[in-house]
Structure 1
Amino acid sequence: MIGHDIFLPAPLPVLSAGTMVMLLAIAWRRSVIRSLVIAVVTLLAALVSVTHAFGTPPADGTGLFVQDRWAIYTAVLILLSVLCIVFMSWRDLVRDAAHPTDEYPLLMMLGTLGATSMVFSASYMPFFLGVEILGISLMGLIASRHYRFAQATEAAMKYLILSGVSSAILLFGMGLAYGVSGSLAFVPPVAAAGFAPSMAQVATVMILAGMFFKLSAVPFHMWLPDVMEGAPPPIAAFTAVTAKIAIFASLVRYFGAGPLPPFMQGVIYAVIILTIMGGNLLALCQNSLTRLMACSSIAHMGYLLIAFFSPGRLQGGAMTVYLVAYTVSTLGVFTIICACAPAMRQDGNRITAWKGLFATNPLPATAMSVMLLSLAGIPPTIGFFAKFEIAGTGVELQRDVLLLVLVIGSIIGLYYYLNIIRVMMNGGAAPSLPIARQPQPELTALTIVLTIIVIMGGLFPGPALYPLLPATVKTMPARNLTGTPPEAPIMKTAIAPPAL
């Protein structure tokens, strides 16, 4: 029985119990449908329990987990994104009887458990365990593409090696941080009294480098396009969305919402510029839609880092809205890609294979156009409002160079997003991309729901987004360099709550 001195957010035991039930069910008798149903039930139960917890948090703040609005918000976003990815995977898993893949939903549940553990972490121990659980499950999921086995295995090996190196750097930094501060609390050690500041700075930079690799920020980005191209489309979405939400939430948790340490200002500044420009310029060179989405994901992490680097009244609202916009739009693109999975097996997901899609399949073509316009930040989509919020954080703190880079990057992104729409509109009535002819109601319904969210979030951002964002009024309190929270939070939303 859990005592009152132990605090545990309810989604973690719920996901753990669901994973154990699935493991026992697989050991008893293999059934992909049953495993998928258990996964859906587990995710829904975790969503219902996301605001609950076992025990009470220690008054001195020395617990392993924390449960505030930022943690709840990002956990909800992770659970909803995984639920969408399960529905993306449903058709291929159920109808491919020749290759039973019960381990697929099991690994996905393990990855979800790791990602959720990361966002609730208040200590290095659960955070690192979450990182490794997520990374190990991703390796198995990336290699599960049996119809392109060589490419999937190569992608999994690349992720294994590079992820292992980044985890080693991250763990080394945590060890140094513990040596400097004598605490496993999830806060930077840069202001620990009585120790050499250089050692604290080295520890902080190493932890930041490990997080930047997981976030695929430049110059730690080269693994993402290869991994996403080799992985199945739903797992590419899992890598680009769920894993990114978890690590970005942890990054914000670690450094708090206040000003960053002075010695890190220039480093973060350079990383943001390189990430935005590098991701967009790399996307210009891609012929594969999945690789293009990987490079696009790199650029969007750069946009998010602008809000992370700009503490102020608009910071919390900008980060929460942009995470929703990026999540919904990216999941929408990969949902449509999953509907075209048979063609992808033949042509490697070339952009030119989408030629003429508007002529014979207007629904997926229209939905894809809406998602791409949202990623480009074009009204009336949610992406426009989200990018406007990010720009607002830069204007508030006069980040002129970063705003200029944001504009230039958005213009470059507009070119390659609109190019895909142009390809879909060309070609007359003879498209080269044969959409799957089997009934796929789950993908159709998911596409419609995500498209409605993208449009309604852009047309009515306040009423549409406020009920979806439990963290927008205020997220976490800002930290000063010693990790002590001030009396009042500084992160507030720019979205006004709807009138009652």
Structure 2
Amino acid sequence: MIGHDVFLPAPLLALSFGIMIMLAATAWRRSAGRSLLGGMVTLLLALAVTGLHTGDIPGSKGDTLFIQDRWTTYTAALSMFSSMCILLMSWRDTAHEGAGTGDEYVLLFMLGTLGALAMVFSANYMPFFVGLEILGVSLMGLVAFRRRPATAGHEAAMKYLILSGVSSAILLFGIGLAYGVTGSLRFVPPVATADVPAALPVAATVMILVGMFFKLSAVPFHMWLPDVMEGAPVPVAAFLAVVSKIAIFSSLVRYFGMGEPPPFLNDILYAVIILTVLGGNLLALRQTTLPRLMACSSIAHVGYLLIAFVCPGLLQPGAITVYLAAYSASTLGVFAAMTAFAAPDGPEGTAVAQWAGLFSSRPFLASVMALMLLSLAGIPPSIGFLAKFQIAATGVAHQRDLLVCVLIIGSIIGLYYYLNIIRVMLATPSFPSASQSRDSRPELTALVIVLTIIVVIGGLFPVRTIHPLLPMRPAPPEMRDETAHWRADLR
């Protein structure tokens, strides 16, 4: 289709162009260091052009494939910033691969970022599903890159492959039903017509929502995430916990057009939110390794975000955008500290007990880890407190008393296992690895300093933090009208 409805966001073009150059360079001569540099330059270029063409929605009256507004610009920029941080975490281990598999790792990583951005910018089911599968296939390869032990990565990749395939099949079936109802591939809930039974759009929407909940690892579709994150390398686990969650949640918000979900989904969403918040926090209490604990923490934070999702209004944009930024910065900080803690040729330091005595042996790293955990727990003066306060205020403003109570209970439970890690770092070392010296990693030191500044400044100066993070605007009139018509038909 050629015409005024064709629109390709500049970040997608920049990423695609950079990946093709990296492929050509790898075919000419393999070099992991050059691939890392090319990937970082490509991400920087894509981030620099993210704001281009932001404004009126191009081709809003047609079936355009992509859309760019303030919401997509914000989530795309956050995804690429997170990808840059994760690439820095992978820098040393990937560069040491030399002419081995380092090039493939970087290419898979860049393809995964491209798939995430395609989902963020999608205004059509086709690019959304293609981006979802590009992200899923890339993640399957990245999860299997674990070197110690290799079987853990292979097992995690197989689990991800099977469950990701099941969720994609459910999602695709829902998309097929939606297309059969509307005859259109626009990324909006299907609307029943006089010739179509009302049950078909309901079934289509529920199946699409279930597919998204699988990818978000919302309860009861969550059991795959702790196993996969434990078997994956630490940077890949960070990619799963941050970039993929941003892409899926951005698509979920786009799908419902920033409006209130249809009435028949209220009971489903309430049940999922309650189970996700409480289930994620309760599961985290039993974990003894940091990747599994962070996976359960990620599940709980998805539940917090869903509370704001079901509370449309003036407070919703600030709550969602600030929480995404706080969660991303804090989670990336935890995984950066885990990467910095790992010995060059020893254990990765993923067991909580291995962090005993870290405040005495490596006070800077322990302080950074403690700050990030306090931010995830919602303790001032971190940005996490501001983010969680925004979610609670949104729930109170919409009289979602039950959800606010669940938020408070989940936060209290989360406070226990976050503070427990800090208690372990203050305790007497029980593993000699906690006091061993590590090689200097300037890229990780710079990364944790930047993330620490974001977390602290966001908490100390909330007013100046909120205003730059309010890029969202209501859904396009066409999306809001279709959703309202659909609700009226279903009544």
TM-score range, shorter chain: over 0.9
Amino acid at match of 2:20: M
Contact 1:15 1:113 in 2 (8 A): yes
Kindly indicate whether residue 49 of structure 2 is the aligned counterpart of residue 49 of structure 1.
yes
Please say which of residues 184-193 and 386-395 is displaced more in the overlay.
184-193
| Aligned twin of 1:133 | 134
Distance (Å, rounded) in 2 between the aligned partners of 1:139 and 1:181: 33
| CA displacement 1:418-450 (0-9 Å, x = unmatched) | 000000001069864256621200000100110
| Aligned twin of 2:336 | 335
Kindly indicate whether residue 97 of structure 2 is the aligned counterpart of residue 92 of structure 1.
no
Amino acid at match of 1:454: V
TM-score by length of 1: 0.93
| Aligned twin of 2:418 | 417
Distance (Å, rounded) in 1 between the aligned partners of 2:266 and 2:481: 13
Amino acid at match of 2:240: T
| Aligned twin of 1:471 | 471
Contact 2:318 2:470 in 1 (8 A): no
Task: Give secondary structure in 2 for the equivalent of 1:6.
Answer: coil
Distance (Å, rounded) in 2 between the aligned partners of 1:481 and 1:268: 22
| Aligned twin of 2:439 | 438
Taking the TM superposition and a 5 Å limit, the aligned residue runs for 1:143-182 are 143-182=144-183
Aligned residues: 483
Contact 2:341 2:349 in 1 (8 A): no
| Aligned twin of 1:492 | none
| Aligned twin of 2:463 | 462
TM-score by length of 2: 0.94
Please say which of residues 458-467 and 30-39 is displaced more in the overlay.
458-467
| CA displacement 1:137-194 (0-9 Å, x = unmatched) | 0000000012221000000000000000000000000000000111100001144453
Please say which of residues 191-200 and 430-439 is displaced more in the overlay.
430-439
Distance (Å, rounded) in 1 between the aligned partners of 2:431 and 2:138: 41
Amino acid at match of 1:91: R
Structure 1 residue 483 displacement after superposition = 3.7
Structure 1 residue 96 displacement after superposition = 4.0
Distance (Å, rounded) in 2 between the aligned partners of 1:153 and 1:307: 36
Distance (Å, rounded) in 2 between the aligned partners of 1:12 and 1:225: 31
Kindly indicate whether residue 23 of structure 2 is the aligned counterpart of residue 23 of structure 1.
yes
Distance (Å, rounded) in 1 between the aligned partners of 2:4 and 2:181: 31
| CA displacement 1:296-325 (0-9 Å, x = unmatched) | 000000000000011111001100000000
| Aligned twin of 1:38 | 38
Call closer, same or farther: CA 1:173–1:436 in 2, change over 3 Å. Answer: farther
Contact 1:357 1:431 in 2 (8 A): no
| Aligned twin of 2:294 | 293
Call closer, same or farther: CA 1:434–1:169 in 2, change over 3 Å. Answer: farther
Please say which of residues 44-53 and 284-293 is displaced more in the overlay.
44-53
Contact 1:333 1:371 in 2 (8 A): yes
Kindly indicate whether residue 366 of structure 2 is the aligned counterpart of residue 377 of structure 1.
no
Please say which of residues 29-38 and 342-351 is displaced more in the overlay.
342-351
Distance (Å, rounded) in 2 between the aligned partners of 1:441 and 1:68: 36
Task: Give secondary structure in 2 for the equivalent of 1:378.
Answer: coil
Distance (Å, rounded) in 1 between the aligned partners of 2:348 and 2:112: 30
| CA displacement 1:82-133 (0-9 Å, x = unmatched) | 0000101001111344844211110111011100010110000000000000
Please say which of residues 353-362 and 194-203 is displaced more in the overlay.
194-203
Distance (Å, rounded) in 1 between the aligned partners of 2:438 and 2:176: 54
Contact 2:216 2:248 in 1 (8 A): yes
Structure 1 residue 57 displacement after superposition = 2.0
Amino acid at match of 2:386: F
Call closer, same or farther: CA 1:93–1:406 in 2, change over 3 Å. Answer: same
Taking the TM superposition and a 5 Å limit, the aligned residue runs for 1:304-323 are 304-323=305-324
Structure 1 residue 195 displacement after superposition = 1.1
| Aligned twin of 1:495 | none
Call closer, same or farther: CA 1:338–1:193 in 2, change over 3 Å. Answer: farther
Contact 2:307 2:395 in 1 (8 A): yes
Please say which of residues 60-69 and 77-86 is displaced more in the overlay.
60-69
Call closer, same or farther: CA 1:273–1:354 in 2, change over 3 Å. Answer: same
Contact 2:32 2:97 in 1 (8 A): no
Contact 2:344 2:438 in 1 (8 A): no
Amino acid at match of 1:112: T
Q: What is the percentage of aligned positions where both structures have the same residue?
A: 63
Task: Give secondary structure in 1 for the equivalent of 2:338.
Answer: helix
Distance (Å, rounded) in 1 between the aligned partners of 2:169 and 2:102: 31
Distance (Å, rounded) in 1 between the aligned partners of 2:351 and 2:345: 8
Task: Give secondary structure in 1 for the equivalent of 2:434.
Answer: coil
Structure 1 residue 482 displacement after superposition = 2.0
| CA displacement 1:326-380 (0-9 Å, x = unmatched) | 0000000000101122289537621010000000100000000000000000000
Distance (Å, rounded) in 2 between the aligned partners of 1:297 and 1:198: 33
Structure 1 residue 462 displacement after superposition = 1.8
| Aligned twin of 1:115 | 116
Distance (Å, rounded) in 1 between the aligned partners of 2:83 and 2:336: 12
Amino acid at match of 2:137: I
Contact 1:374 1:381 in 2 (8 A): yes
| Aligned twin of 1:200 | 201
Call closer, same or farther: CA 1:431–1:460 in 2, change over 3 Å. Answer: farther
Task: Give secondary structure in 2 for the equivalent of 1:482.
Answer: helix
Please say which of residues 243-252 and 455-464 is displaced more in the overlay.
455-464
Contact 2:32 2:98 in 1 (8 A): no
Distance (Å, rounded) in 2 between the aligned partners of 1:437 and 1:209: 44
Amino acid at match of 1:283: A
Contact 2:378 2:411 in 1 (8 A): yes
| Aligned twin of 1:80 | 81
Call closer, same or farther: CA 1:238–1:345 in 2, change over 3 Å. Answer: farther
Contact 1:340 1:434 in 2 (8 A): no
Please say which of residues 456-465 and 407-416 is displaced more in the overlay.
456-465
| Aligned twin of 2:228 | 227
| Aligned twin of 1:404 | 405
Task: Give secondary structure in 1 for the equivalent of 2:482.
Answer: coil
Structure 1 residue 461 displacement after superposition = 1.4
Please say which of residues 214-223 and 86-95 is displaced more in the overlay.
86-95
Contact 2:375 2:383 in 1 (8 A): yes
Amino acid at match of 1:419: N
| CA displacement 1:395-425 (0-9 Å, x = unmatched) | 0110010000000000000000000000000
Call closer, same or farther: CA 1:142–1:428 in 2, change over 3 Å. Answer: closer
Call closer, same or farther: CA 1:332–1:348 in 2, change over 3 Å. Answer: closer
Kindly indicate whether residue 6 of structure 2 is the aligned counterpart of residue 6 of structure 1.
yes
Contact 2:307 2:403 in 1 (8 A): yes
Distance (Å, rounded) in 2 between the aligned partners of 1:157 and 1:50: 35
Structure 1 residue 62 displacement after superposition = 2.0
| Aligned twin of 2:489 | none
Contact 1:303 1:390 in 2 (8 A): yes
Call closer, same or farther: CA 1:484–1:30 in 2, change over 3 Å. Answer: farther
Amino acid at match of 2:314: R
